[in-house]
Amino acid sequence: MEKNSRRVAISLLAHPDDAEFLCAGTMIRLADAGWTVHIASCTPGDCGTMTHDRWEISSIRTRENIASAAKIGATYHCLDERDGMVCYDKSTLQKAIDLFRRVAPSLVFTHAPKDYMMDHEMASLLARQASFMYGAPNASPHPLLPGSAVPHLYYCDPIGMVDPLGNPVEPTTVIDVSQQLAMKSEMLAAHASQREWLRAHHGMDEYIESMKRHGAERGKRIGTASAEAFVQHRGHPYPQNDLLIELFAKGRA
Ligand SMILES: [Zn+2]
């Protein structure tokens, strides 16, 4: 199979703001290194509200996503599925494959295969299969871009760093994002609708603080102030070398 030598990264995660919690620091590093970066969610976050209707909050959160992505020159995409209803089915998978076909990623981030809610697990399956299939000529009506091939695939930490049964997840790859923490926080803060209701509910800026606690915990593994952790997918025919470690040598498992 052709080697994928493009420098294009995409995160395909379930919801708006998942990327900012789980992999934005590493994506900032990629953008700074000259990579083209895309951020995609399966849903527009239509249930992330106590006050707006589905369409109002989708509109608000889509604008927040675009603003967050723009801070690092990234492009935002949405598969336009619904919160709590993300499925691994033919129509959603075709949307994911078509998105990957247009973007032709060489590096993909998605959720852990086992995570705290099913939207995350379904997004993980969609990203895995879209990675595998998008370079097959007949998989999508969109034109095949030069260099399209099976990309490096990394699973982000599950929420809380544990699987749904409470077992800790052991990362293969830990990337230092200390220098990116300010921008990562700025990107997360762009999701103002989510930050505000959590702040009202908790009486503190829990939205930003929980992201920082997670990063600090992973940072302990490599002796840095903040880090993001991943598990690399190494099944056939995915690339076997740890590209993130090669790019950012300071990070290690
Ligand atoms: Zn989520």
Which tens digit of pLDDT belongs to each residue from 82-97? 999 999 999 999 999 9
Return all residues near 114 (Cβ < 8 A) that are at least 6 apart.
121, 158, 163, 164, 165
Cα–ligand 1 centroid distance for 12 (angstroms): 11
pLDDT at 226 over 70: yes
pLDDT at 247 over 90: yes
Cα–ligand 1 centroid distance for 18 (angstroms): 5
Of the pLDDT bands very low, low, confident and very high (cuts 50, 70, 90), residue 196 is confident
| pLDDT tens per residue across span 106-118 | 999 999 999 999 9
pLDDT score of 250: 55
Cα–ligand 1 centroid distance for 3 (angstroms): 31
pLDDT score of 142: 98
Cα–ligand 1 centroid distance for 224 (angstroms): 26
pLDDT at 36 over 90: yes
pLDDT at 2 over 70: no
Cα–ligand 1 centroid distance for 63 (angstroms): 17
Beta pairing, strands 227-232 & 173-176: antiparallel
Q: How far apart are CA 126 and CA 120, in angstroms?
A: 10
Mean pLDDT of 132-149: 97
Cα–ligand 1 centroid distance for 16 (angstroms): 7
Cα–ligand 1 centroid distance for 115 (angstroms): 10
pLDDT score of 48: 87
Mean pLDDT across the chain: 95
Q: How far is CA 72 from CA 34, 77, 167, 188, 228, in A?
A: 11, 15, 34, 12, 17
Q: How far apart are CA 221 and CA 218, in angstroms?
A: 6
pLDDT at 253 over 50: no
pLDDT score of 125: 98
